[in-house]
Amino acid sequence: MPKKTPRQKISLKLDNIVRTLIKKSDKKPCQKCNKIFKTLREVDWCHVISRKYARLRWSLTNGLTLCRKCHIWFDADNNKEGHPWFEKNFKNRWIVLQRSGYKEICKIDVWTLEEKYKRYKSMI
Ligand SMILES: [Zn+2]
């Protein structure tokens, strides 16, 4: 295995901390079907807007807790039904996400990612 770059390392740390924050902050059943989770392991961290957009990959506004089944439904056919459902149920968050300019290509530097990580760490 090749050694991980600093960017890969911080990306992994951010994935882990945001997943934890999203799962803990919601403390709700699946937000689509209301299935009750017995353990946090059953909860999926779902990206509303694809994680391929760096600007929103670790955004809490862009995170949603769903059960596995609903996550698959949400992502199906490029969010064909998932996005309209989210827009209807989380109108304000949808607007914030649409205004975030996420489609602009942006390469966030490692230092900024480290700062983001520290901020999230203080929230736990
Ligand atoms: Zn569900």
pLDDT in tens, 57-68: 999 999 999 999
Query: How confident is residue 26, by pLDDT bands cut at 50, 70 and 90?
Result: low
Residue 74 alpha carbon to ligand 1 centre in Å: 10
Whether 106 is in a domain gets the answer yes
Checking if the pLDDT of 35 tops 70, the result is: yes
What would the pLDDT profile of 61-92 be if each residue is shown by its tens digit? 999 999 999 999 999 999 999 999 999 999 99
On whether the CB atoms of residues 85 and 76 are closer than 8 A, the answer is no
- Quote the number of domains for the chain: 1
pTM for the model: 0.89
Residue 83: which domain range? 29-118
Whether 9 is in a domain gets the answer no
Checking if the pLDDT of 98 tops 90, the result is: yes
Residue 53 alpha carbon to ligand 1 centre in Å: 24
Instruction: Please tell me the total number of residues recorded for the chain in this structure.
Output: 124
Alpha helices for the chain (secondary structure H): 6-26, 54-57, 68-79, 82-89, 91-98, 110-123
Q: Which residue has the tokens 């995170």?
A: 63
